[in-house]
Structure 1
Amino acid sequence: MLPPPRPDRRPTLRRWLTVALVAILFALGGLGMLVLIDDQSGMVATAIGLVLSLVVLGVVVPVFLWLDRFEREPTGMLVFALLWGACIATLGAAALNNLGSVLIDPMLATHPSAATWVAPVVEESMKGLGPLLLLFFRRREVDGVLDGMVYAGLSAAGFAAVEDVVYLASGYAHSGEHGLLSTFLVRVVMSPFAHPMFTVCTGIGIGIAATTQHRRLRFLAPFAGWCCAVTLHGIWNLGALLPQHGWLVFYLLLQLPLFVAFVTLIVLARKHEATLISRELGEYVDAGQLSAAEVVMLSSIKERRYAMAWAGQHGGVEAQDEMREMQDAASELAMVRARIDRGDRSAPVIESEEHLLQIVSVLRVRFLDSALYRYYDDRGMTAR
């Protein structure tokens, strides 16, 4: 009798080799930026800048993770987007911005007009390239506009944090504590979301490209989003050329309303995803694969938190883990169902729907007819 065939380890080997190569690339990019900043401002100034720039990550990253609560993206892809912005986009932008300044005026190392005409094009291209690579290589994981916004926002957050290190270190090196404080107030306190606001436009285009069935729109949407990002970035940078009084007026009349619009956009985007989950999962109610009460829970962050807490109190860690897995699988199922409704009935999509339905069907059994669900009339849509 022949021995069973040896398992093919090549896919696993390729995956780990890819991870290793990407990690090395990020490490070299991050090291290159640290060397560049240290050469310009010194070790002490660089260290101070690194510490203070963490405030940006501490404020901006949680916002995009909050945006990603319903259908959580793979951790590896989120980390990739953040590190791309911090390690690769910054180093590439530094080189290309310097090249642009030299082309404008070879006599000046940094030309003032480069901030308006060169930097927006270069930086938005570099920041947007990371999420675009994710769309190209991991298309199945990009389920819509919100996913594109999350990946683009994290890439921009990484970029902003490292760029702030450059400016904070330079401010301290050239003007001491006064320069450090003024730079911190302008870049970290008053405009931590500047870069994410621009690059989210590219992310919206990427999200549209991931879901549309129109071939032309797959190319035009990211380009249109990139154009919006470059335009907003250029207008924002014009404010830096104004005198102090003019800059404050510019900030109040343009930059602050732009931030309010950005906050409104991300809140509406998350509400839209909740509506989408409710609508798509509702299609399984008539078939008896889900109850209306379950759909209410799965399409509400508040009810999801309640369900997690209830599962933990009544079933311990095991039940809590099962509830979390059920919620994640149901969210992914809704996104797959949305693909089917848009006309994508390819074999992998149909197989994914069947697989996710099976997971949800198994996990939901433990919680059926329990006090977990607080919505109970005939259609399960009225609170007790």
Structure 2
Amino acid sequence: MLPPPRPDRRPALRRWLLVALVTIGFASGGLSMLLLIDDQSGLVATAFGIVLSLVVVGIVVPVFLWLDRFEREPTGMLVFALLWGACIATFSASVLNNLGSILLDPMQSHHSSAAVWLAPVIEESMKGLGPLLLLFFKRREIDGVLDGMVYAGLAAAGFAAVEDVVYLAAGYANAGDQGLFSTFLVRVVMSPFAHPMFTVCTGIGIGIAATSPHWWQRLTAPLTGWCCAVALHCLWNIGAVLSDDGWLLFYLVLQLPLFVAFVTLIVLARQHEAKLISRELGTYVDAGWLSGPEVVMLSSIKERRYALAWAERHGGDEAVAEMRELQDAASELAMVRARLDRGDSSPPVVRSEHQLLELVSQLRVRFLGTALYRYYEDREITVPNAVNQK
């Protein structure tokens, strides 16, 4: 008898090799950037800058993770976007900005011209390249505009944090505690969302490209988003250059309205995703795959939290894990259904719908007929009022 064929380990080997190469690339970029900052400002100033810039990470990253609550993206891709911005985009932009400044102004007599016109093009290109790579290699994981915003926002958050280290360290090296405090106030406290506000425009274009059935939209949407990001970045830098003696006016006239518009955009984007999940899952109610109360629970963060708390009280960690898996699978099912509605009926999408329907059917069995469902039924939450929006 012939021995059984040996399992093919090449896919796993390629995967680990790719992970190793990416890790080496991120480590090299991050270390190079730290050495560059240390050379410019010194070890103590760099240490102060790193500690204070963590505030940016603590403020900005949770906002984009909050955006990602309904249909959570793979952790590896989220980490890739963040590290791309922090390690690769910052170092590449620093090198290209310095080189471009020399080419644009060999005598270095007009620093502002490079900051206004050159830096936005280079920095938005470097930040946007990371999410663009995810679009090329992981297109099926990007289910719409909100996903593109999340990846672009995290890349920009990583970039902003490291760039703030540069400015904070320089502020301390040049003017001591006063320089450190003023830089922290202007860059970290007053404008932590500056870079994410620009780069989410690129992310919107990437989200459109990932889900559009039209080839011309897949080409033009990311380019249009990038142009908007560069334009906003240029406008911001022009205002910063012109407001050397009137930074408070600049903040009130430009920065604050842009921030309000950004907050409005991300809130509307999440509300839109909730409505999309409700609408798409509602199509499975008549066929018996889901019930009206389930769709209500699955399309509301508040109701999802209630369902998880109920599962914890009545079934412990195991029930919580199954409820969370049910919620994640249902969100993914809604996104796949949306792709089908947009005309993408390729075999992988159709196959994903069938697999997710089977998974959701298996996971919901544990909760059918329980008090959790009666809770929604007693409140008279029905499909026509809540989910039947088609």
Q: Which TM-score band (shorter chain)?
A: over 0.9
1:217 equivalenced with 2:217 (yes/no): yes
Cα distance per residue 1:78-132 (max 9 Å; x no partner): 0000000000000000011001110122122982211100000000000000000
Is the CA contact (8 Å cut-off) linking 2:240 and 2:250 kept in structure 1? no
* Counterpart position of 2:132: 132
Deviation at 1:35, TM superposition (A): 0.4
Is the CA contact (8 Å cut-off) linking 1:209 and 1:217 kept in structure 2? yes
Q: Which runs of 4+ in 1 moved over 4 A?
A: 380-383
Deviation at 1:2, TM superposition (A): 2.4
Deviation at 1:289, TM superposition (A): 0.4
CA distance in structure 1 between the aligned counterparts of 2:262 and 2:225, rounded to whole angstroms = 14
Is the CA contact (8 Å cut-off) linking 2:293 and 2:381 kept in structure 1? no
Cα distance per residue 1:118-164 (max 9 Å; x no partner): 00000000000000000000000000000000000000000000000
Q: How many residues align?
A: 383
TM-score if structure 1 supplies the norm length? 0.98
Is the CA contact (8 Å cut-off) linking 2:243 and 2:250 kept in structure 1? no
Is the CA contact (8 Å cut-off) linking 1:145 and 1:208 kept in structure 2? yes
User: What's the C-alpha RMSD, in Å, of the aligned pairs?
Assistant: 1.3
* Counterpart position of 1:327: 327
Deviation at 1:303, TM superposition (A): 0.4
* Counterpart position of 1:292: 292
Equivalent position SS for 1:69: coil
**Residue pairs, 1:92-241, within 5 angstroms:** 92-108=92-108, 111-241=111-241
Deviation at 1:214, TM superposition (A): 1.2
CA distance in structure 2 between the aligned counterparts of 1:15 and 1:362, rounded to whole angstroms = 30
Which of 351, 354, 379 pairs up with 2:382? Answer: 379
CA distance in structure 2 between the aligned counterparts of 1:378 and 1:103, rounded to whole angstroms = 65
**Runs of at least 5 residues in structure 2 that lack an aligned partner in the other structure:** none
Give the letter for the 2:120 counterpart.
Answer: P
* Counterpart position of 1:6: 6
Is the CA contact (8 Å cut-off) linking 2:312 and 2:320 kept in structure 1? yes
Equivalent position SS for 1:2: coil
Cα distance per residue 1:147-188 (max 9 Å; x no partner): 000000000000000000000000000000000000000000
CA distance in structure 1 between the aligned counterparts of 2:243 and 2:382, rounded to whole angstroms = 62
CA distance in structure 2 between the aligned counterparts of 1:270 and 1:308, rounded to whole angstroms = 20
1:242 equivalenced with 2:242 (yes/no): yes
Cα distance per residue 1:330-368 (max 9 Å; x no partner): 100100111111111111111111111111100100001
CA distance in structure 2 between the aligned counterparts of 1:363 and 1:152, rounded to whole angstroms = 33
Equivalent position SS for 1:47: helix
Equivalent position SS for 1:372: helix
CA distance in structure 1 between the aligned counterparts of 2:53 and 2:80, rounded to whole angstroms = 19
* Counterpart position of 1:33: 33
Equivalent position SS for 2:246: helix
CA distance in structure 1 between the aligned counterparts of 2:221 and 2:279, rounded to whole angstroms = 25
Equivalent position SS for 2:261: helix
Give the letter for the 2:208 counterpart.
Answer: I
Cα distance per residue 1:304-345 (max 9 Å; x no partner): 000001001100100000001110011001001111111111
**Residue pairs, 1:244-323, within 5 angstroms:** 244-323=244-323
Give the letter for the 1:193 counterpart.
Answer: F
Give the letter for the 1:282 counterpart.
Answer: G
Is the CA contact (8 Å cut-off) linking 1:104 and 1:111 kept in structure 2? no
Cα distance per residue 1:262-281 (max 9 Å; x no partner): 00000000000000000110
CA distance in structure 2 between the aligned counterparts of 1:296 and 1:86, rounded to whole angstroms = 39
TM-score if structure 2 supplies the norm length? 0.96
Rate the CA distance shift 1:109–1:364 in 2: closer, same or farther, 3 A: farther
CA distance in structure 2 between the aligned counterparts of 1:350 and 1:365, rounded to whole angstroms = 23
CA distance in structure 2 between the aligned counterparts of 1:265 and 1:133, rounded to whole angstroms = 24
Equivalent position SS for 2:371: coil
1:58 equivalenced with 2:58 (yes/no): yes
Is the CA contact (8 Å cut-off) linking 2:60 and 2:192 kept in structure 1? yes
Rate the CA distance shift 1:3–1:110 in 2: closer, same or farther, 3 A: farther
Equivalent position SS for 2:372: coil
* Counterpart position of 1:87: 87
* Counterpart position of 2:69: 69
Deviation at 1:213, TM superposition (A): 1.1
* Counterpart position of 1:21: 21
CA distance in structure 2 between the aligned counterparts of 1:280 and 1:381, rounded to whole angstroms = 14
1:348 equivalenced with 2:351 (yes/no): no
Give the letter for the 1:379 counterpart.
Answer: T
Rate the CA distance shift 1:216–1:145 in 2: closer, same or farther, 3 A: same
Is the CA contact (8 Å cut-off) linking 1:124 and 1:226 kept in structure 2? yes
CA distance in structure 1 between the aligned counterparts of 2:249 and 2:160, rounded to whole angstroms = 23
Give the letter for the 1:82 counterpart.
Answer: L
CA distance in structure 2 between the aligned counterparts of 1:381 and 1:79, rounded to whole angstroms = 40
CA distance in structure 1 between the aligned counterparts of 2:300 and 2:384, rounded to whole angstroms = 12
